[in-house]
Chains A and B, each alone.
Chain A
Amino acid sequence: MTFEEAVPPRIPALRRALQMARKHPLGVFGVVVVAALMLTGIFAELVAPYDPLAPNRTTKAFAELAAPVDAQTDVFTVKDGADLGHGQTVGIDSEEIIVLIIEGNTITVQRGAEHTEPTSHDAGAALGSSTVDSVSGPSAKHPFGTDRLGRDVLSRTIFGARISLMIGLVAILFGVTVGSFLGVISGYIGGLVDSVIQRSVDALLAFPPVVLLLAIITVIGDEDSAVRTFLAHHTPVPQGTFLGVPDFLSIFVISLAIGLAVVASVARVVRGAVLSIKENVYIEAARAMGASDSRIMWRHILPNVAALIVILASITLPLAILAEAAVSFLGVGVPPPVPSWGADMTGPNRELALSGTWWPVFFPGLALSLVVLGFNMLGDAFRDISDPRLRGALGSGNGRGL
C-alpha cells in the first residue's frame, strides 16, 4: 500500500462536511439535538407559551364552567354570565382545602382555610368535588399538560433546558479549568507536588461518583456555607433572579459542586498527556533558551493539551447535565420553584406519577434523555471522524467507533 492509498487526499471543507453528514446520520441527529437545546435554552422566553412559574387554575370541570379574571388572583367569572346565586362549597386543590365563594356570576377561591362547612348549593354539584384541582392531561392548550400547581409542563420543560445548559456550562468551565491546571502542574513539576495531587486524586476517584457529588453539595450547598457566603458577599455573582432564573446563587453553587466532582478525573487524564509532551525536544529547546517553568507550562505545554481538554469538556458536559438532574431528583439540587428537569421528576410530581399521572414527570425526563442521547451520538460520530486511520473508510459499519 502506497502512502497515497493509505491516506486519502484532502477534500474541500464544505464538501467534506456534507460527506460526513451523509455518512453519519446519527451524528447529524446529535448536532440537531444539541443545537436545539442551546437555542431553546437561550430563547426560552420566546419559545415557551406560558410563564413556567405561573400557576394556571382553569382546568378540568372548573374550566368548563368559569374563566379566571386574571392569572394572579383566584377570582373567576362564570362563562356566559350565568347567575349561580349565592353560597359556598368546598373543594380540594393540590392537597389544600379551598373554599369557593359563589356570588352571582363570580367565584372567589379562598385558600388556607382550616375547616369549613359547605353550605348546600346547586353550583357545588356542578363544580364537582375536585373543583380546581389543577392537574390536567395533555390538551391543545397545554400540549404537555399541567402539573400539580397548574403550571404548564411544556414551558417548564423549555425553561429546564436553560437551567441544564447553564449548570452544565458553568460546571464544565470550572471543573475542566481547575482540573487542567492541576494536571499540568502535577505532570510538569513532578516530585512532591505530583505525589500530593495524585494521591488526592486517587482518594477522590475511590468514591462512587454520585456519593462524592452528594457530599460536596451538602458541604457547599448549605444555606450558610462558607463558599456560598463568600460568593454572595465578595463576588459579583447575582443573588436574585438572573437571566430569567430565580435564585441564581444556588444554581451557581450547584454548578461549582458538579464541576468539583469532575476535577479529579480531568487532572488525571491531563497529567498523563503532559508527562509524554514534556519529553518532546521542543520543550528542551524552550528550556535551553532560558524559558521559565511557568512559561513552558502555559505557553508550550498547555496549547498542546488544548485539544484533549476540549474533548474532555465535550465528554463531561452531558455527564454534568445528567448529574444536575440526578442531584435535583434526590432533592439536594436546584431548589423549587426553579424549573429543572431533575427537580420536576421528584417530590409531588413523582407522587402524581406513582398514581398514574405521568405527564409532569414524563416530558422533562424525555427532554433530558434526548439531550444526553444527542451528545452521545455527537461524541460517537466525532470519535469516528477524528480517528485518521478511518478516514476514507467512514461509515462502512466495520470496527471501531460505536
Chain B
Amino acid sequence: MRNYILRRLLILIPIMLGVSFLTFAMFRMIPGDAAVLRCQLGCTPEVLNDLRHEMGLDRPWYQQYGDWLWDVGHGDLGKSLTESRLPVTTELDRRLPITGELLVMTMIMALLLGIPPGVISAIRPGTPLDWLARLGSVLWLSIPSFWLGILVIAFGVSWFNWTPPQFGRGYVPFMDDPWVNLQQFFFPSLVLALAIAAAIMRLTRSSLLEVLGNDYIRTAWSKGLRERTVVMRHALKNALIPVLTIVGLQVGALIGGSVIIESVFNLNGVGKYVLEAILRRDFFVVQSVVLLFAVAFVTANLVVDILYGWLDPRIRYG
C-alpha cells in the first residue's frame, strides 16, 4: 500500500512537469506579451523594452522556465505581470477560501441530490418515481450552468427583488456572518452541482441495480430482513464504490465549472483569477494556477484510488 502511494506520487512529478511546460510553451507562442498589453498608447520601443526587462521577459525561454520552476519548488509561485505586481501566493490566500467553499458545498449538494434519487429509482424501477428521477438526471446533464446561473439571478431580481449578496458587497467569510455567506454560495453551488448530481444519480442507480441482483442480497431477503436493512446495510455500501470514482473524476469538471460560475455569480475566487489572467496574458499567474488545478485534480483521483482499496478489500494494489 505504501509503495503504491509512493509510486503514484512519483508518477505525479513528470505529469506536473509536463503540465507546467505545456502551459509555459503555449503562452510563449502568443504574439504580443504582457508588456505590450501594459504599454498604453504612445509607447515607444525603448519603454517597451524596459518593461520587458523589468518583467524578465527578455531572457531566453529556458532561463524563464527554469527560474519559475526553481521558485515554485521553493513555494514562491511568482508575481503577476500587471502593474500591481502582486505575488500569486497573496492572491491565492485571499481567493482559495472562496473557491474551496464553492467546491466543497457543490460536492455536498451533488451527493445529496444524486444518491437519494438514485437509490429510490433503483429500488422502484419502472415506477413514476423512477421515471421522474431519470428524466431529472437527463435534464440536469443538459442545462448549461452559466445559463441557469444567469436565469437564477435574473428571476431572483425581477420576482423576489433579491440579488446574491456578493454583488456590491464582496465575499463575506462564514465566520463573520454565516447567513450571508450561505446566501452567497447557495445558488452558485446548486447550479454547479446539478450536472454532477445527475452523473452520480445515474451511476448509483445502475450500480445498485446490479448489486441488488447478487446472491447475498437474496440471502438477506430470505432471512426476512426489512427492505430498509437490505438496501441500506447490505446493498448500498457496495453499490457506492463505483460512485466514488465518478466523484474523483468530476473534480476536474468541477474546477473548470468554477471558472465559469465564479464569473457568473461574481465570486472573486481562483477561477475568476485565472480567467482574468488568461485574458491579460499574465503568464506566471496562469502557469502557477493551472499547475495548482492539475495538482488538485490528480490528487483527488489518487485519494479516490486509495479510498477504493480501503472500502473494497478485494482490490489489491499491484
Give the interface of A toward B (CB within 8 A): 26, 199-200, 202-204, 206-211, 214-216, 218-219, 222, 224-226, 322, 325-326, 329-332, 345, 350, 353-358, 361-362, 365, 368-370, 372-373, 376-377, 380, 396-402
* Closest CB in chain B relative to A59 CB, distance in Å: 19
**Cβ of B210 < 8 Å from any Cβ of A?**
yes
* Closest CB in chain B relative to A398 CB, distance in Å: 5
User: A206-B297, A373-B138 known; A326 and B29 CB under 8 Å?
Assistant: no
**Cβ of B139 < 8 Å from any Cβ of A?**
yes
User: A222-B30, A362-B151 known; A209 and B19 CB under 8 Å?
Assistant: no
* Closest CB in chain A relative to B132 CB, distance in Å: 12
Q: Which residues of B contact A199 (CB under 8 A)?
A: 14-15, 18
* Closest CB in chain B relative to A253 CB, distance in Å: 13
Task: State whether A330 touches B209 (Cβ < 8 A).
Answer: no
Task: State whether B147 touches A345 (Cβ < 8 A).
Answer: yes
Interface 0/1 of B206-240, CB less than 8 Å to A: 10011000000000000000000000000000000
Task: State whether A361 touches B151 (Cβ < 8 A).
Answer: yes
Q: Can you list 11 pairs linking A and B with CB atoms under 8 Å apart? A: A206-B19, A208-B259, A209-B256, A215-B23, A218-B30, A222-B32, A330-B263, A345-B150, A373-B139, A376-B141, A401-B206
Task: State whether A209 touches B290 (Cβ < 8 A).
Answer: no
Task: State whether A226 touches B29 (Cβ < 8 A).
Answer: yes
Task: State whether A216 touches B146 (Cβ < 8 A).
Answer: no
Task: State whether A207 touches B294 (Cβ < 8 A).
Answer: yes
Complex alpha-carbon distance, A314 and B14, angstroms: 33
Task: State whether A358 touches B146 (Cβ < 8 A).
Answer: no
Task: State whether B31 touches A206 (Cβ < 8 A).
Answer: no
Give the interface of B toward A (CB within 8 A): 14-16, 18-19, 21-23, 26-27, 29-32, 125-126, 130, 134, 137-139, 141-144, 146-147, 150-151, 153-155, 157-158, 163, 202, 205-206, 209-210, 252-253, 255-257, 259-260, 263, 274-275, 278-279, 281, 286, 290, 293-294, 297-298
Q: Which residues of B contact A208 (CB under 8 A)?
A: 252-253, 255-256, 259, 293-294, 297
Task: State whether A215 touches B27 (Cβ < 8 A).
Answer: yes
Task: State whether A397 touches B125 (Cβ < 8 A).
Answer: yes
Task: State whether A369 touches B157 (Cβ < 8 A).
Answer: no
Q: Which residues of A contact B155 (CB under 8 A)?
A: 358
* Closest CB in chain B relative to A345 CB, distance in Å: 6
User: A369-B143, A402-B137 known; A224 and B297 CB under 8 Å?
Assistant: no
Q: Interface SS of chain B: helix, strand, loop or mixed?
A: helix
Task: State whether B126 touches A398 (Cβ < 8 A).
Answer: yes
Contact of B278 among A218, A225, A399 (CB under 8 A): A218
* Closest CB in chain A relative to B36 CB, distance in Å: 11
Q: Which residues of B contact A219 (CB under 8 A)?
A: 26-27, 29-30
Q: Which residues of B contact A345 (CB under 8 A)?
A: 146-147, 150
Nearest first, the 3 A-B pairs at minimum CB distance are: A203-B18, A210-B256, A365-B147
Q: Which residues of B contact A225 (CB under 8 A)?
A: 29-31
* Closest CB in chain B relative to A197 CB, distance in Å: 12
Given A208-B259, A365-B150, A373-B138, 11 new contacts (CB under 8 A): A202-B14, A209-B253, A211-B293, A214-B278, A215-B26, A330-B260, A330-B263, A358-B151, A368-B144, A372-B142, A399-B206
Q: Which residues of A contact B144 (CB under 8 A)?
A: 322, 325-326, 365, 368-369, 372
Task: State whether B138 touches A26 (Cβ < 8 A).
Answer: yes
Q: Specify the chain A residue showing the minimal Cβ separation from B251.
A: A208
Task: State whether B141 touches A332 (Cβ < 8 A).
Answer: no
* Closest CB in chain A relative to B32 CB, distance in Å: 7
Q: Which residues of B contact A332 (CB under 8 A)?
A: 278-279
* Closest CB in chain A relative to B189 CB, distance in Å: 17
User: A210-B260, A402-B202 known; A361 and B278 CB under 8 Å?
Assistant: no
* Closest CB in chain B relative to A269 CB, distance in Å: 14
* Closest CB in chain B relative to A198 CB, distance in Å: 11
Q: Interface SS of chain A: helix, strand, loop or mixed?
A: helix
Q: Which residues of B contact A216 (CB under 8 A)?
A: 26
Contact of A354 among B27, B130, B154, B256 (CB under 8 A): B154
Complex alpha-carbon distance, A8 and B29, angstroms: 58
* Closest CB in chain B relative to A268 CB, distance in Å: 13
Task: State whether A211 touches B150 (Cβ < 8 A).
Answer: no
Q: Which residues of A contact B126 (CB under 8 A)?
A: 396-398
Q: Which residues of A contact B209 (CB under 8 A)?
A: 398-399
Q: Specify the chain B residue showing the minimal Cβ separation from A210.
A: B256
Contact of B257 among A210, A226, A361, A373 (CB under 8 A): A210
Q: Which residues of B contact A331 (CB under 8 A)?
A: 279
Complex alpha-carbon distance, A276 and B281, angstroms: 43
Task: State whether B147 touches A369 (Cβ < 8 A).
Answer: yes
Complex alpha-carbon distance, A111 and B151, angstroms: 32
Task: State whether A206 touches B253 (Cβ < 8 A).
Answer: no
User: A211-B255, A218-B278 known; A353 and B153 CB under 8 Å?
Assistant: yes
Q: Which residues of A contact B253 (CB under 8 A)?
A: 208-209
* Closest CB in chain B relative to A32 CB, distance in Å: 15
Q: Which residues of A contact B134 (CB under 8 A)?
A: 402
* Closest CB in chain B relative to A335 CB, distance in Å: 14
Complex alpha-carbon distance, A401 and B274, angstroms: 38
Complex alpha-carbon distance, A308 and B275, angstroms: 35
Q: Which residues of A contact B298 (CB under 8 A)?
A: 206
Q: Which residues of A contact B32 (CB under 8 A)?
A: 222, 224
Task: State whether A218 touches B281 (Cβ < 8 A).
Answer: yes
User: A208-B252, A365-B144, A373-B142 known; A353 and B263 CB under 8 Å?
Assistant: no
